[in-house]
Structure 1
């Protein structure tokens, strides 16, 4: 990975031209990258594995390599009868592999339904039936095959192993006469699912032009100096992973596409790859910010990019102490000319992007550096692709600054809607705005503050309590005790309405702290911050007791179900004696007496 190696980065003039291409979009970006980048033969997308000696091995792929793999996979799909407009499920482990299937299917005009392979099998089956997939490619087809054998009428046209596609001899197979497929602006190019912890997951449509809208400025603003390297820790079956991959391919930006988001797998690759940028959901940032910091792996990091659930100040403030950055790096995307001329400062910047599959990209970006004053829950101002952003009441009227309400956006980057569910789509539309599902407020300077998801607001007898500001205090002001946490509302005693409780993962040095002691410490800090105190704390001691969804989000709905009777049947929730330090696992669990 020498800095004197041939550059893969597209020239600035070529990137500027991509910004104005009328037919470029999410369904054909690889073809445009191959045509526009003279460095198309230089490897820049890296997969990774660990060899028999335990050493990290990186394998590079050029734009031409990606095109060859795309075409080989496309021949398999075409020979299997896949035609334009047909949805096909891709149930493939994270990393580069699901992206290759995405490229192949979109090159045929088909619609990849990207499925996280961690989805529960029964939920996955319902989802695939809802989408109406014509076929499934998966790393493991055992459970699906068994379910389809029990009811053959539900079986799609094909059910194939990923290995079958990889081993396909494509020499004698012809691609369609019109290949790659030329998508129209509104053609659906992917289906992305929600977590689906209750019921069938929602299926968000990504359209060819819509998913490219708003990303054009990244062609000149996203760091793309020869020394820049991106580590993508996003789930690549998710819109976030697709978005960063699209950006990296068009820029020719050296990128390692991670197949595992856990710190034990990530940190050794960081040390070998030496990224200058890391993009992730909060799940990995929590682990990297916990315990001894990854100083060696993050030595060259100047930017951390977060999307999905918002990150917390308690974790951000540790990460920005790492790495180094140009002195002028105070915005989400740095102009290349600036990067080359600015002197370096210690520390990095953290860009906390509020976005979702439905929004098409992060539409807000709060920036934190080591010098930034603490400003809990501020996600900054809307990006330029947003034509309007407002805090609304339930009738769609814009609320005055400082008032809490529903966050709505108007932007060409928003999804066309949910697949086969016009009624659900309409429920998120209000007076021309798309409701993001978030509760927010705006200040007089136009900054937005993300307070909660609408489904997570805690309705207490004295008014609503927003869980995210409470979590901020626990993670930032109780950091000696609390490693990670999730604040939820559960029914209180004697019909008092909901009360807030916290499920916490403790720091390694706080294993002997009781739930009551943690609650008292937390409440002292919450009262000082003018926030509602907690009615109880539960300590998470195993992974099962701090449940995460397929994309690493804490499943608050599961926690609410688990603790629904915490105050009505308190005898069922007694705290066991603290375990000896040498018997407590690294992963934390819900115990502790209610207040």
Structure 2
């Protein structure tokens, strides 16, 4: 491995094996009990408390001249030095506490460095996935009211603002300009790093945009730390553990895992790309024991030939955002091995060493969102786990109460689908510059997650759909996720990925249709044959049948949003006349 003090100077060969950067248990227990720790100061607290602050723990990667993966390591002190340089640049540009700044840079460590720099100034980073469509991005930046924007490429933004100069923020700057800045040329503020109050806003995170223009979710200093305290002693952090983070780090999920890794001192490779072609070679070089991602990469890793070499040491897969599908999960848990310390954490160190590892891994499926502040429901699947379609488990301990409500806010009995609602200190303070939207998600003292679910008699919750994706048929609501579950698990030899949406039917109401991506070599059946096979499985499961099925032959036929979610809104629009035959 290689280390470097910045991402602008050539990396130098690493010294002989360094001590583990994992923070001692007493330090981690101190973090869990610290009432002033939060999302705005976790880097400084880690530097203060971890005696291994100079040991590289955060890794980026590059390819050498032979096309082989080179890992580049950064210690806590390295990140602080980069943060201070970036903060000096932002301060020189006039950025002051409370002001939002747009950050539109490629995924990886770079958005995290700007997050650290801006929060150290008391400013508010508006982290934006650079895959967002330019016109949508400008509308979003206008809504946020950013005072400036840092971007890898400002061409499209400058063109958009040139058409209406009144909307232009104070500065549009290239990432390269910040990276090349001489920090000695500008002083930092007298009070630095900024001291956050519990309610101070530390970041704005946009939604996926699957239902329209992205919402701007507020993360607050203490709120975003709430619920993560138990991770300080329970999250796997043995000296042998390594985390691969495939989350978008402009998203709350990526920020949450990096916060955890930083406080634990957990060696973590921060990925920019999420496609299998990029991920698998880095897995083989880094040999992670844990992989954290949205479902998008798990779909790719679970499809086709399994990544046996890269996942040889994986004991845990962590999923958040949308819950994953069993058809993909069951293949991933065949990989890797589970050490005794993971299965029996109460064992003494020597006892753990003496116990043989079990074959296979565990998949920790968390249902969460930026608004929830973290995954608030969790289901663990291992090779021995019985199938339980759409089960997202029980609420985490930070949840004060979780319920399924009707539209009037009354709690529904077990087994009845309704609006998933939670009360927890990790819930967002609301949406930036939109009190009306914030109020619409409050009902009877709960926060509505935007999901339809039901609870069983054992207290487990089952995720059925997003509220905007429910298919309104003449016979009642049909939920898309259980249908997708069957297509992916029971038609796995044919279907690689799929999305079920509702479209108008000539008789009235909507009917479900599926858009599917096929497995390699599954092209022998035509769409009618695939539809017949799919409906046979749905009938066996007692679910509604599909009215039609379309095969996505090209990437554009299966549109993804900036965070890799399928854009069901676009599929509904594209196939709106599929059953009626009327003109668009």
**Bin of the TM-score, shorter chain as denominator length:** over 0.9
Q: Tell me, yes or no, if the aligned pair for 2:511 and 2:547 is still in contact at 8 Å.
A: yes
Question: RMSD of the alignment, in Å?
Answer: 1.7
Matching residue of 1:483: 496
d(CA) in 2 for partners of 1:472 and 1:132?
41
Unaligned runs of 5+ in 2: 2-13
Contact 1:438 1:452 in 2 (8 A): yes
Alignment counterpart, residue 557 of structure 1, candidates 565, 569, 574: 569
Residue number among 229, 236, 239 corresponding to 2:252 in the alignment? 239
How far has the Cα of 1:463 moved from its partner?
1.1
Q: Equivalences for 1:382-393 in 2 at 5 Å? A: 382-393=395-406
Give 1:17 shift: 0.5
SS in 2 for 1:200: coil
Residue 341 (structure 1) shift: 6.4
Q: Determine which of 212, 227, 231 is the counterpart of 2:225.
A: 212
> Number of residue pairs matched?
570
**SS at the partner of 2:239?**
coil
SS in 2 for 1:493: coil
Name the counterpart of 1:155.
168
Q: 2:203 aligns with which of 179, 190, 193?
A: 190
The offset of 1:327, in angstroms, is 4.3
Q: Distance in 1 between matches of 2:412 and 2:45?
A: 43
Distance, in Å, in 2 between the alignment partners of 1:191 and 1:371 is 40
In the alignment, the residues of structure 2 paired with residue 546 and residue 248 of structure 1 have an alpha-carbon distance, to the nearest angstrom, of 34
1:375-403 deviation digits (Å, cap 9, x = unpaired): 00011100000000001111111111111
Q: Is the 8 A contact 1:353 1:362 kept in 2?
A: yes
Determine the structure 2 residue equivalent to 1:135. Answer: 148
DSSP 3-state at the match of 1:558: helix
CA distance in 2 between counterparts of 1:369 and 1:569 reads 46
Match of 1:261 among 274, 279, 300: 274
Counterparts in 2 of 1:517-528, with a 5 A limit? 517-528=529-540
CA contact (8 A) 1:270 1:297 kept: yes
Out of 566, 575, 581, which is 2:578 matched to? Answer: 566
Partner of 1:249: 262
- SS class of match (2:395): coil
Asked if 2 retains the 8 angstrom alpha-carbon contact of 1:330 and 1:367, the reply is no
Shift >4 Å, 4+ stretches:
1-4, 333-342
Alpha carbons of 1:240 and 1:335: their partners in 2 closer, same or farther (altered >3 Å)? farther
Match of 2:138 in 1: 125
Instruction: Work out whether 1:273 is the aligned partner of 2:286.
Output: yes
Structure 1 position 502 matched with structure 2 position 514:
yes
Aligned-pair CA distance for 1:335: 9.2
Query: How does the TM-score come out when normalised to structure 1?
Result: 0.94
1:107 aligns to 2:113 (yes or no): no
Q: What are the ranges of 5 or more consecutive residues in structure 1 without an aligned counterpart?
A: 573-595
SS at match of 2:256: helix
1:52 corresponds in structure 2 to 65
Displacement, 1:326? 2.4
Structure 1 equivalent of residue 482 of structure 2: 469
- Give the match for residue 180 of structure 1: 193
- Give the corresponding residue for 2:8: none
The match for 2:335 among 322, 325, 329 is: 322
Partners of 1:534 and 1:571 lie apart in 2 by 22
1:394 — aligned with what?
Answer: 407
CA contact (8 A) 1:47 1:58 kept: yes
User: What secondary structure, in the 3-state scheme, does the structure 1 residue paired with 2:250 have?
Assistant: coil
TM-score relative to the length of structure 2:
0.95
C-alpha change, 1:328 and 1:473, in structure 2 (3 Å) is farther
1:249-295 CA-partner distances (Å, limit 9, x unpaired): 00000000001000000000000000000000000000000000000
Q: Per-residue deviation at 1:339?
A: 6.1
Call closer, same or farther: CA 1:216–1:341 in 2, change over 3 Å. Answer: farther
Partners of 1:498 and 1:122 lie apart in 2 by: 31
Task: Verify the 8 A CA contact 1:381 1:448 in the aligned structure 2.
Answer: yes
